[in-house]
Every structure is written in C-alpha cells, then in structure tokens.
Amino acid sequence: MLINKIFISKLNFILVLIFVILLTACGSTSDKEFELNIKSRKITNQESQIQVKTGDHVILNFTTDEEGSAFIDQYPDAKTNISPGGNWKIEFDATKSGIFDLKFVPGGRISFSNTGDATTGINASGSLFRSPTMITDQTFTYVVEKDLDLKTVKYYNHMKRSNTGKLIIDSNAELSGTVEIEIVGKGAFDPDETTIQPGTKVTWTNYTKDRQMVSSGDVPKVVETQANVKLLSISVE
C-alpha cells in the first residue's frame, strides 16, 4: 500500500509538471504593449529599439505634440493618423522576423490610400506572398496557384523597391516544377521575368550581403508631405 501511495504521488507530480510546462508554452505568445510619447519628432520614453517575438500581438499606444501619421512600412495594417490631445493606437501581429522601422510623417493627416493599399486583387502589395527578411543565402518559396493561369504576378524587393520582377503564368509554358530566382548585386532579381506553368514552385535566394524581402504586387508609394522621420526600430525575433 505504501508503494502504491508513493507511485500515485509521483504520478500526480509528473502530471502537474506537464500541465505547467504546457501552460507556459501556450503563454509564450502574448500581447506586447508599448506606450510611445512623441515630442519634437522623437520618442522620449523608449529606447531606440524595442524587442518582440514572432507571433506576438503588438500594441503601440501614441501621444504626440504634432499632427501626422505613424506607420511600419513592411506591415500594411500597422498605420494610424495621430494628433495632439488624443490617444492613438497601432496593433499588428508580428508574423515576419527582422528589424522594422516605425516612421512618422509630420505635417498633417495623409491618406493611406496613396501608399499602395488602394491597389486591389493580385496587384495589391503582399496579397499573394511576402517573404520574411532574408539574410545571405536564405531562401523563400512560393507555389503558384492553379487559378492564376494567364495572369501576371508582379513582385518587388521590399528593401530595394526599384528592383521589380514578374511571373507570367501560362499553362502552355515550358517551365514547371521548380524555378530558381537569384537576388544579386544591389537587390536585383535574376531573372526578373519568368514564364511558368501554374503549380510551379518559385524559390528566391539572397546572394547579397544585405537583408532582402520579396513581396508580390505593385510597389507601394508613400506620400512625402515631408521627409519620413524614423521614430524607433522594432526587432521581431
């Protein structure tokens, strides 16, 4: 009987330990909330870089002494107009790893329809795919959907936006299976135009020493009412 009690006691301890481990693991993704006070176009109450983890739900609360707009370029939904006397918020899920700048456009409220978000369908920025930030020799793969036959998929380098490319989708094309596209030089694509069949697996490889990011769609255009001011960086690990 004593042995049975010891066994049951140990079993209960193991079960409790497993429960605690699972509870901790489930809680590893959480809300990360930051208070940001903009004064004289600078964040006065935070370090120059804040840290979050991939999967975190990030909340940025703003107060400001100047009207303008805040946004994170690589996260299309992370944007808000702000003005003195109010409390403003940006919320987004940190789905992409890398270091991203939180920017401020001073001098009035801007329309974010002019940043490329007004484009719809497959030409909308990031509507089909957007890679994580790729360091040297890293790759990103996208499989062309079957319903894109006879369409053209535009894409661009999110870090070097003058570099663009296109995938021409045609069920009668010679290329299928797997296609390799190299990112070379100052972020250019080689080749920058490829005709392929639906279902083709397209892989981009970063052969440069700089970070690169590939995004589908047209290149977003940011309205430059005044020069964008970098407020801080957000590191997503």
Burial class of residue 196 in the structure, from the number of CB atoms within 10 Å of its CB (0-12 exposed, 13-18 middle, 19+ buried): buried
DSSP state of 144: P
Both tokens of 106, joined, read 């001073």
Statement: residue 114 has pLDDT above 80 = no
Higher pLDDT, 80 or 147: 147
Statement: residue 124 has pLDDT above 80 = yes
What's the distance, CA 179 to chain centroid? 24
CB atoms under 10 Å from CB of 230, counted, come to: 14
Question: Does some domain include residue 192?
Answer: yes
Q: What is the pTM of this model?
A: 0.50
Residues 7-65: tens digit of each pLDDT: 455 556 565 556 545 544 444 568 899 999 999 889 999 999 999 999 999 999 999 88
Question: Does some domain include residue 102?
Answer: yes
Residue 236: partners with Cβ closer than 8 Å, 6 or more residues away: 52, 53, 54, 56, 94, 96, 97, 98, 99, 100
CB of 79 closer than 8 Å to CB of 71: yes
Assess whether 49 and 86 both reside in one domain.
yes
What is the residue type of 199? G
Assess whether 144 and 84 both reside in one domain.
no
CA dist 16 to 22, 29, 40, 64, 110, Å?
Answer: 10, 22, 53, 48, 54
Question: Does some domain include residue 84?
Answer: yes
DSSP state of 121: G
- In terms of residue numbers, what domain contains 110? 31-116+222-236
Residues 156-195: tens digit of each pLDDT: 998 788 899 999 999 999 999 999 999 999 899 999 999 9
The residue assigned the tokens 């570099």 is 163
Question: Does some domain include residue 92?
Answer: yes
How many domains would you assign to the chain? 2
Assess whether 227 and 153 both reside in one domain.
no
Query: Rounded to the nearest 5°, which phi and psi values hold at 21?
Result: -65, -45
CA dist 142 to 14, 72, 83, 204, Å?
Answer: 43, 24, 40, 9
The residue count for the chain: 237
Both tokens of 147, joined, read 């319903």
Residues 203-220: tens digit of each pLDDT: 999 999 988 889 999 987
Assess whether 109 and 143 both reside in one domain.
no
